A and B are shown apart, each in its own frame.
Chain A
Amino acid sequence: MTSEIGQQVILSAQKLNVYYGEFNAVKDVDIDINQNSITALIGPSGCGKSTFLRCLNRMNDLIVGASVQGKVMFEGVDLYGGEIDATEIRSRIGMVFQKPNPFPKSIYQNIAWGLKVNGFKGNYDEAVERALNQAALWDEVKDRLNNSAFTLSGGQQQRLCIARALAVEPAVLLMDEPASALDPIATLAIEELIKQLKDHVTIVIVTHNMQQAARVSDETAFFMVGENRSGYLVEHDDTQKIFSNPSNTRTEEYITGRFS
């Protein structure tokens, strides 16, 4: 965890293909995700970036008819190798969704729930406070921890969901357009938070918003829709390079807004 930042590969997809039934939704993706970096996945609708993201913690297992071929290496293990327990993976690789989805429980219970299912034995009050602090939410909610999570605003709910994911101390946090349902101010708060989280956790974020990718990420991966509507990875590089001098003309056309 303390190695040179941005150098060590923590997640690596190799020849990854995702199928929904017969449909090849994501085709032959090879990508390395560096530890303690923020990687943005961008691309037009239907390019498979969310589908790809959901492969990284086997959330696609929950979709009927979805199947994955290829490898995802994480801490030296192939997540799609036999004998791998998907629930174990998901406590190491957390996820935040497009729409805030707090549980219909109190703010406190929202955090404590994940700790409990992961068999946490320590001090719950401290762990809850720590997670809420990491998600920059503690000061706003510390006096009403027992209120329902639904009394929070949308942006606060999303930060609660981030806190909930952080509480179980994952190595990687996957974010699927985490700010797309939020207003601009709440979006900025989330972006600030994402940048701060980099020290604790590796982040892979799908975003529709190219400015957001440029603002928050260290690296950017550009996905496109190819033949037979299959999504594929066009280019993956430092964010600065992608947005200033991309190698691929399709990337350039996309980021300059010539198609979307």
Chain B
Amino acid sequence: MIEDQSSFTKRSRGSSLEGSIVKYIFLACASLSILTTLAILLTLSYQAYEFFKEISIIEFLTGTRWTPILKPRSYGVLPLVSGTLLVTVIAAMVAIPIGLSTAIFLSEYAPDWLRRIIKPILEVLAGIPTVVYGYFALTFVTPLLQVFLPDLIIFNALSAGIVMGVMIIPMVSSLSEDAMISVPRSLREGAYALGATRYEVSLRIVVPAALSGIIAAFIIAISRAIGETMLVTIAAGATPKLTFDPTESIQTMTAYIVQLALGEAPVGSLEYNTIFAVALVLFALTLFMNLLGFWIVTRFREEY
């Protein structure tokens, strides 16, 4: 007995050492992403601080003209924010209804063979490089829209927003479908057994039960739209303008950052530092979206 016990303790000591090494490896990996985030935030804040030494935060946040490289210079970020929001709202209006409907179809209606065809196609859609979407918007969707809106200019928020919406459909649909598929079958059966139709089961049982996951999908997709760069750089224009008219040419925060980063602003100059001030706003916006998502998810959770 005593021998048995000692060998038992020995072995468990060995494995606990192993266990703690493994634990630290995992911890290190987990820390990496946190440290990266902190490093980015620090860099942004430092450079933005340089910017805000010269331009007041109030002027930056409330100004309605953004002309940092043209005279008379003006540093109001609102036109860039409105440009980003405009494109994002259009994208969400396209992606949320279509993506959610796709998810409902795949999870509740589609026979197995059809799901096996559609899902890979959606994944291909998600894998297309954003630069391709940009040219698709510019050379296909915009001319198409001009058939209906003859006055539409080449670079416009509408076309970029629509294509951005198409781009994030797979994200909405695939994440929403995951949330819906994991709603237990027993709930569906309970509803069918009451004489509910497939439509009622889908919309009034499955979607509410999966709502927190579905909203999380929306938030992730919208955050993606806010941060998307290449598509809007190509198709939405380079004209910072405080407008909510989708037919106008605008500029998003991301597109501005690209424009400036590719330009000739000397490192450390005020123009150069605008990049970081704008990036900080972008960061704050996505952070806000995530917090909002978190709040909504906990508020609407239907546990099963």
Known: A64-B112, A87-B197, A97-B186. A104 touches B192 (CB 8 A): no
Q: How far is the CB of A147 from chain B (nearest CB, A)?
A: 12
- B186-207 to A contact mask, C-beta < 8 Å, 1/0: 1111111111110010001100
The CA of A150 and the CA of B204, in the complex, are separated in Å by 18
A38 at the interface (CB under 8 A from B): no
Inter-chain contact A99/B186, CB cutoff 8 Å:
yes
Residue of A nearest to B211 (CB): A104
Of the candidates B188, B193, B204, the one having the most CB atoms from chain A within 10 angstroms of its own CB is B193
Can you list 12 pairs linking A and B with CB atoms under 8 Å apart?
A: A62-B192, A87-B195, A87-B197, A91-B194, A97-B193, A101-B190, A113-B191, A113-B194, A113-B204, A117-B194, A117-B197, A165-B193
B304: Cβ under 8 A from any A Cβ: yes
A250 to chain B, nearest CB (A): 32
For the complex, give the distance between the alpha carbons of A113 and B302 in Å: 15
CB distance from B208 to the nearest CB of A (A): 7
Cβ of B192: which chain A residues have Cβ within 8 Å of it?
Answer: 59, 62, 87, 90
Does chain A have a CB within 8 A of B209?
A: yes
Nearest-CB distance from B196 to chain A (Å)? 5
Q: With a CB–CB cut-off of 8 A, which chain B residues contact A13? A: none
Task: Judge whether A103 and B190 touch: CB under 8 Å.
Answer: yes
Which B171-223 residues have C-beta < 8 A from chain A? 184, 186-197, 200, 204-205, 208-209
Are A59 and B193 closer than 8 Å at their CB atoms? yes
Q: How long is the Cα–Cα vector from A88 to B193 in the complex, in angstroms? A: 10
B195 touches A168 (CB 8 A): yes
B184 touches A164 (CB 8 A): no
Set of chain B residues within 8 Å of A103, measured between Cβ atoms: 187, 190-191, 205, 209
Contact, CB under 8 Å: A62 / B190:
no
Q: Indicate if B303 sits at the interface (CB-CB under 8 A).
A: yes
A-chain residues with CB within 8 Å of residue B196 when the two chains form the complex: 87, 90, 114, 117
Known contacts A62-B189, A113-B204, A117-B204; A88 and B303 CB within 8 A of each other: no
Chain B, 142-190, CB within 8 A of any chain A CB:
184, 186-190
Which residues of A come within 8 Å of B, CB atoms? 57, 59, 62, 64, 87-92, 94-97, 99, 101-105, 113-114, 117-118, 148, 150, 161, 164-165, 168
Number of interface residues of B (CB under 8 A): 23
Task: Across the interface, name the chain B residue whose C-beta is closest to A91.
Answer: B195
Q: How far is the CB of A66 from chain B (nearest CB, A)?
A: 14
Chain B: CB-nearest residue to A86: B192
Contact B187 A88 (CB under 8 A): no
The verdict on A104 contacting B189 (CB below 8 Å), with A87-B195, A88-B195, A90-B194 known, is: no
Among the listed A57, A64, A89, A161, which residue makes an inter-chain contact with B190, where contact means beta carbons less than 8 Å apart? Answer: A161
The chain A residue with its CB closest to the CB of B112 is: A64
**Chain A: minimal CB distance from B110 (Å):** 12
Interface centre among B184, B187, B195 (most CB of A within 10 A): B195
Q: Which residues of B contact A105 (CB under 8 A)?
A: 208, 302
Contact B186–A150 (Cβ < 8 Å):
no
Query: In the assembly, what is the distance between CA of A114 and CA of B111, in Å?
Result: 26
Contact of A117 with B195 in the complex, beta carbons under 8 Å: yes
Given the interface pairs A101-B187, A103-B187, A150-B303, the reply to whether A165 lies near B112 with Cβ below 8 Å is no
Given A59-B193, A92-B195, A164-B194; 16 other pairs, CB 8 A cutoff: A57-B193, A59-B192, A62-B192, A87-B195, A90-B195, A97-B186, A97-B189, A103-B190, A103-B209, A104-B187, A105-B208, A117-B196, A118-B195, A161-B190, A164-B190, A165-B193
State whether A104 touches B193 (Cβ < 8 A).
Answer: no
Contacts of B191 in A (CB 8 A): 103, 113, 117
Nearest CB in chain A to that of B196: its residue? A117
Tell me, rounded to whole Å, the shortest Cβ–Cβ distance linking B211 to chain A: 10
Q: How far, in whole Å, are A102 and B304 apart by their CA atoms in the complex?
A: 9
CA distance A165 to B194 in the complex (A): 6
